[in-house]
Amino acid sequence: AASEKRNLSLGGHVGFDSLPDQLVSKSVTQGFCFNILCVGETGIGKSTLMNTLFNTMFENEEASHYQNGVCMRPRTYDLQESNVHLKLTIVDTVGFGDQINKEESYKPIVDYIDTQFENYLQEELKIKRSLFNYHDGRIHICLYFIAPTGHSLKSLDLVTMKKLDSKVNIIPIIAKADTISKSELHKFKIKIMSELVSNGVQIYQFPTDDDAVTEINSSMNAHLPFAVVGSIEEVKVGNKTVRARQYPWGVVQVENESHCDFVKLREMLIRVNMEDLREQTHARHYELYRRCKLEEMGFKDTDPDCEPFSLQETYEAKRKEFMGDLQKKEEEMRQMFVNKVKETEAELKEKERELHNKFEQLKHMHQEEKRKVEEKRRELEEEMNAFNRRKVAAETLSLAQPLKKDKDKKK
């Protein structure tokens, strides 16, 4: 069969065993990117932990507790260690947990993650793509900071993690773990994990399928959530200087595994599983977002008869459907326009008829007025004629009388 593979032995060295080295060389040349989302209440120690993790001082301003809402603050840095370049983006949730009404606290976080997925999807769907130099802003890991109460998770924590678990890899961490006693901390960890399980929250599990990391990842999965302490202050303990927190009663060493889980977190997050986090983000979370988006747009892999359905056929079918809808709407609009024109014509004809009737009425009134004026004129003329006749008669009479008088005198 064509699908059967034949195993052949090589007669000598060919050289494709250098392929892993070529991949490493190419990856190092291109550089890497890693994006961390820190979710936690204001003042819980997010910035301090980031500074401690990467052993540097990231620029940040302290946020007040008076934010109107939660806003996302991404900051990108270029880091270099040996010959490896890392473009690191740290996204902080400013104002998280500070509002009286916390109902919508998770929404800006979800929107930010979705926006990064959408930007990548839009780049993928372009005709002319440039993914090789595209700044990938998709969140690879969400460090969820839990307040060291020693009791149980807050409802805000459960709701937020539940909303985020299908979109991002979540590692829960107990912040400022030096404020809680060892026995309480052990109970608190068990309580947190049982609450996450009972509420169906899926957190990131360190992968155990690779033999090289199976043992360490299996043991570390049992330590979740990590109880961490952050500090970039250097304190002298014995003969060496260590990063620690100095208290009146003693020193909490950040990198001492008996004091806190900071080393475990750094090991798991950066030194062992950073590539797996990047891979999981692309292959699992982004893939889910992409699939849902394409299904919303009407694309699918099989038609109703379960036959393979090509993207081109789907596009053409959707285009045909769209053009049909467009034509139908156009026809409806045309018909609406025709009806509107007919209605307007009928209204105009009605107004024209009204105007014509009014004109006829005015014409009739005008003729009536004209006739009355003519009659009046005739009457006046007759009166004038009668008056003139009387005037002439009177004048004739007045002229005749003096002549008669004169004749009488002569006699």
List, for residues 278-303, the tens digit of each pLDDT value: 999 999 999 999 999 988 877 776 65
User: Is residue 222's pLDDT more than 60?
Assistant: yes
Residue 404: the pLDDT is 63
Residue 131: the pLDDT is 78
List, for residues 2-46, the tens digit of each pLDDT value: 568 888 888 889 888 899 999 999 889 888 999 999 999 988 989
Residue 290: the pLDDT is 92
**Cα–Cα distance, 320 to 326 (Å, whole number):** 10
Q: Which of 51, 62, 92 is nearest to 233 (CA)?
A: 51
Q: Which of 150, 167, 151 is nearest to 39 (CA)?
A: 167
What is the DSSP code string of 98-155? Answer: -SS--TTTTHHHHHHHHHHHHHHHHHHHSSS--GGG-------EEEEEEP--SS---H
Q: What is the value of pTM for the model shown?
A: 0.74
What's the mean pLDDT when you consider all of the chain? 88
Cβ contacts of 269 within 8 Å, gap of 6 or more? 53, 141, 171, 277
281, 168 Cβ separation under 8 angstroms: yes
List, for residues 93-108, the tens digit of each pLDDT value: 999 988 888 888 899 9
Mean pLDDT of 130-152: 88
119, 137 Cβ separation under 8 angstroms: yes
